Every structure is written in C-alpha cells, then in structure tokens.
Amino acid sequence: MAKPTRLAGWHLLVVLVLLVAVVVGAVLLGAIDLGWQRVLGEVWAQLTGGVSPLSVQESAILWQLRMPRVVLAGLVGAALACSGATFQGVFRNPLADPYLLGAAAGAGMVVTIVVVLAPGAGPAYLPAAAFVGALGGVALTWGLGRSAGAGTATLLLAGVAVASFLTAVQTFVQQLNTLTLQQVYGWILGGLSTGGWSQVLTVLPYLAVALVVLCTCSGLLDVLTLGDEEAASLGVRPGMVRLVVLGAASLATAAAVSVSGLIGFVGIVVPHVIRLLFGASYRVVVPLSLAGGAIFLILADIVARTALAPAELPIGVVTAFTGAPFFVLVLRRRPA
C-alpha cells in the first residue's frame, strides 16, 4: 500500500492518544505514589473549584515538580525531533542531526566558560549562556559557510569545522579549572530537573515560533527533494526556503539545549520511526515528529527517573542507549 503524502486525521489521532497516555504515565510515576484516581480528583477539583483529595504537599509535587518536568520534556523532545526532520530534508541526508550547525558546540563552550570563569553566577545562568552559545555557534557556521560559497555541502563542512574549533576551546577552558569538570560534564549529559514552570515559560515563545515555521514549511521540503531547478520552476526559492528552515530549526535547537543540556539521537531516531510507520513525505514527517519527539523524550525521562531510583540517570545516557544502535541500523540500511 502506498504511503500517504498528506497528514491524515488518523495520523493525528494515533500520536495524540499515545502522547496523552505517556503524559499520564509520567505524571503518575514517581517516588511518591499519588494514585491515578486521586490525581484525576485533583484535576477535577482545579477545574470546578471543589475539594482536592491530595494534600498540599502532594498537590505541590504534582503541579510544581512533575507537570513542569513532563511539559519541558515534551517541548524539548518536540523541538529536537522536528528540527532533526527538517535538517534531514534540507541536507537530503537521513543522518543529519539538530546539532549539525554548531549549536551544541557553541552552547557547550559558553556554558563551560561561565562555569569556569564565573562560578559565583550559579546554575540559574546556564540556560541563558547555552542559548547565546548555541545561536552564536550557528551564526558562526552560517557566516563561514556563506563566505566560502553557497550550497548545503559547504554549510555542512563549515558546521564540522566550527564545531571542532568550539569543542577545542571548550576543552582548553575546562583544563584551566578541573574542579568544574563534574558540573560541565553533568550538563553535557543532559537533564530535565526543573524548579517549576519558569524554564517552560522561558523557552515556550521561542519554540512556539520556530515549530510553527517548521511545520508551515514542511510542504516546501517535499518540493526541494525534486532538485533546485525543478523547485525554482514551480515558483519556490530554494535558497530562501533553506535559510528560513535552518534558522527556525537552529532557534528551536538552541532553546531546547538551553534548558536540557545536550540530549542526542532524538532528532535521528524519531523522524526515521515516523518515516517507517507513516511515509516519507515531509508534510507527514515534520508535524508527526513534533508529537513523536515529545513522546520519545517523556518516555526516556521516565526511564531516567525510575531505572535507578532513588538515583537518577542523565537523560542523555538513556537516549544514547536507544539511539546509538538505531543510528547503526540506519547506517547499515543506507545504499553504498
């Protein structure tokens, strides 16, 4: 049976049902058992103004600890998966990653500089530092790529060069103060622990704008697969489409990195699963990757919180355990 080239209602129904189920499971699971009936009673009480079956402490655990973390995991997963799908479309490479243009390297370098040179700043400043570093890394890659010549291959090589340089700077700065290695290393492995809704509200505007742009441009990515000349003959400006898509994907990646650290493989695993299940059209892959990324990272966070409870695994370790074998599988399936 031919795969669909447009998003169908049943696509959305399947992923939304899965997303709701995963969110409910993530909210219920934790060191303190709140009970699904009591949680439903709390939600109903909030909606109707009734009496909650939860204590004040239990209500705080639900609304100030678990829910923000679940929402943040969903947003970060959606951003990384959607960005990965669009990067793969722009570069016509199924192994393209959201961190391809130096976002991860830039974020890592600036975070390391802040931790080493301004230890009194505290962890509250790390998200802002990561955001600035990620956007700076992408801007540097873009400037170098444009100066060396147009084309996605040149931009890709510029990203490799910039990432290597920024990573070298990060390593050098780390060696200036080895006492900070643990803090930097913990950030690099990724994490989603939150102090409430502040991080969610901080990144939400950036992610909302970026993800809307990516979903809107998904049909244009299908046109780009025909080649630049054919796309131009259909009235599409390939250079402008790439600029807008890469800019939005980089903004989404930077916002995600700023609150979660470096979480790998989400942007590779999720789009490929969506292609296998629903088809290769970017009209389908991009929006479903958004929901699929949220599902994937919420599940990964559940594993991170519960696998070694009461200790917690870095979520980047969990995604790597899943993503590395998947990466190898995709690599082996590619034609020589």
| Tokens 């070694």, residue located | 308
Residues 80-99 have pLDDT tens digits of: 999 999 999 888 877 788 88
Residues 324 and 336: their CA atoms lie apart, in Å, by: 20
Task: Tell me the residue type at 80.
Answer: L
Residues 214-271 have pLDDT tens digits of: 999 999 999 988 888 888 888 888 889 988 998 899 899 988 988 888 898 999 899 9
Query: Domain spans of the chain?
Result: 9-333
Residues 81 and 84: their CA atoms lie apart, in Å, by: 5
Q: What pLDDT is stored for residue 239 in this prediction?
A: 85
The answer to whether 199 touches 207, Cβ cutoff 8 Å, is no
Task: Tell me the residue type at 269.
Answer: V
Q: What pLDDT is stored for residue 1 in this prediction?
A: 45
Report, in this order, helix, strand and coil percent for the chain, each rounded to 5.
80, 0, 20
| Tokens 């049909």, residue located | 219
Q: What pLDDT is stored for residue 91 in this prediction?
A: 84
Residues 35-80 have pLDDT tens digits of: 888 888 888 888 888 888 888 888 888 888 899 999 999 999 999 9
Residues 263-301 have pLDDT tens digits of: 989 998 999 999 888 888 999 999 999 999 999 999 999
Task: Give pTM, 2 decimals.
Answer: 0.89
Pick the more confident residue, 163 or 6: 163
Neighbours of 282 (CB within 10 A): 27
The topology (CATH level 3) of 9-333 is ABC transporter involved in vitamin B12 uptake, BtuC (1.10.3470)
Q: What pLDDT is stored for residue 336 in this prediction?
A: 47
Residues 184-220 have pLDDT tens digits of: 877 788 888 766 788 898 889 999 999 999 999 999 9
Cα 196–197–203 angle (5° rounding)?
A: 130
What's the gap between Cα 105 and its chain centre?
15
